[in-house]
Amino acid sequence: MLKFSHLTLVASCTFLVACSPLGNTPPSEEEQSPSPANGGETAQEDSAPRETPNVTYKGIVQPAGISIYQQGSHRLVLDDNRFILLESAQVDLNGYVGESVEAFGSIRPTVEEGGIIMSVENIRLEAQDVEEDSEAEEASVSEESTQGDENDGGDSVEEETSEDLLVEEEEADTSSIPTETDTTDEPENGLLDSDVNEPTVLPLSADKLESVIAMSKDSYSPERWTQQYCTGHIGFCMPVHKNWWYKSFGNTTTNLWQVELRNMPIEQIGDGVITVKLVSGTAASVDATDVQVRVQGDQVTGYRSWEGGTHFEIVADARLVEAVTYITEHVTPYQE
């Protein structure tokens, strides 16, 4: 009987061992997989495009054409014949095909490996030879001045006779007599010189002077004014040239509203070379009329009457008189 019980016990234990699950053994480190959370984050970070903002490239704009890249509407061919792809929701790139430009925006890698695409935020025609012309002119003036000093040395000046002095004095006296040509007439283009209520103009810095010269060489035909600045707060819109940047500073300590324009990005107030400002008082309060443009010395100011006893003043260097005139004539009410 005891022998039978012992055999029964052994058989039961054998049965239990045979039926026990084999899955309790822990996997080795090589068999273990990363946690879903960490693995998902890593994959997401690796697949996200790396975008770099505030980048400028120079080159020639061309249509994208047929290529392996399925992104971008145009391409910018660089000096070394490499290129980057271009896309933009803000700028009509078709208007710059074949032009040498500076494109400003954010870049990121293309979906296809090895390419770069820029989301263009602003673009302008590249200013050519402005600085070289200025330097050449300065060098020429300096050379002429040096030659003049050498020729005018004290030892080489011939002694003037009393008759020569008499002739010079007579010429000086007659030159001071007013003639019919001294009468001041209104310019043919209708622009008036006036010193009535004109603000003081500070001398231009070298970089601003370069911008003024470049902007004055732009074409001001209507099709070049492809951008527009509008504000529903004040309720007006104004045109912006396709090659220029603009920045609104809103209400300032001196003006009810202020917008500045330039052919390069504007960071802070005063960086622009054309200032559009809304000020208190009517245009008549500063002895001006609606859509009038005045040139005084080195400054031009356009006046535009506005609602609520206010008016706009568009102020710039006198070399930008054509641009100021166009903006003054095309300030319009904002419409939603």
In the chain, the domains with their CATH numbers are 52-125 (2.40.50), 206-333 (3.40.1000)
Torsion angle (degrees, nearest 10) of CA 17, 21, 22, 27: -140
The one-letter amino acid code at 147 reads: Q
Distance, in Å, from the CA atom of 215 to the CA atom of 130, rounded to the nearest integer, reads 11
- Report pLDDT for 299: 94
- Report pLDDT for 308: 92
pLDDT digits (tens, 9 = 90+) for 293-325: 999 999 999 999 999 999 999 999 999 999 999
Query: Which two tokens mark 231?
Result: 């504000």
Q: Residues with Cβ < 8 Å from 120, sequence gap 6 or more?
A: 86, 87, 88, 90, 91, 93, 103, 104, 105
Reported residue count of the chain is 336
Query: Consecutive 10-residue runs of the chain (336 residues): their mean pLDDT?
Result: 52 48 42 40 50 88 82 90 89 87 89 84 72 53 53 46 45 43 42 43 82 94 94 92 94 93 94 96 94 94 95 96 96 90
pLDDT digits (tens, 9 = 90+) for 49-96: 678 888 888 999 998 877 777 788 999 999 888 889 999 988 888 888
Residues paired with residue 75 on neighbouring β-strands, in sequence order: 62, 85
DSSP 154-222: GGGPPPPPHHHHHHHHHHHHHHTS--GGGS----TT--B---SSPPPPPPPPHHHHHHHHHHHTS---G
3-state secondary structure 112-169: CCCCEEEEEEEEEECCCCHHHHHHHHHHHHHHHHHHHHHHCCHHHCCCCCHHHHHHHH
